Amino acid sequence: MALLKRAKGFYGWIVRILEKFNTWLPQLFLRIILAWEFSEAGFEKLQGENWFANITFPFPFNTLSPEFSWYLSTSFEIVGAFALVLGLATRFFSASLIVLTIVAIAAVHWPDSWNTLAELWKGYAITDKGFGNYKLPLLYLMMLLPLLFGGAGKLSLDYFITRRK
């Protein structure tokens, strides 16, 4: 009984310590890893050739020229990454990167065709073996959602700007 009481006390102590970090540390880690991934994709596009002409985008994005789409996605990936690191306009850039990621899933990562859920599930992969490869973009979507709904956290420019008002 005494051991159980000590374990509960220790657990409570750990929880109190973790709760001191829950308003800034998880959001910071999400912002940093997402910024890394999106900036990597953006700088790769910036230094590479436009391959968007070979892609069929979903409506309404198919009404934009491949050059403009390339510029738009490159810009949002790079500027959005820097904004995420700083925690500046986090909800706006999270929403923008969510839209960009959904378009990328639909145009690039989704399987060309599938007949069963089992076939679709094969696309939940990192590499495309003929079934799509939507795993990473889907994970990015899930990681952006807490930033969209909860904001950047206390260690961000968003927090300092709203706190000063």
Where do we find the tokens 């008002």? 165
Q: How confident is the model at residue 122 (pLDDT cuts 50, 70, 90)?
A: confident
The share of the chain scoring above pLDDT 70, in percent, equals 99
pTM for the full model? 0.89
Could you read off the pLDDT of 47-65 as tens digits, one per residue?
Answer: 999 999 889 888 899 899 9
| Measured CA distances, 157 to 105, 106, 160 (Å) | 30, 33, 5
DSSP H or E run through 137 = helix 135-150
CA distance 132 to 126: 9
Residue 153 reports pLDDT greater than 90: yes
- Which letter does DSSP use for residue 54 in this model? G
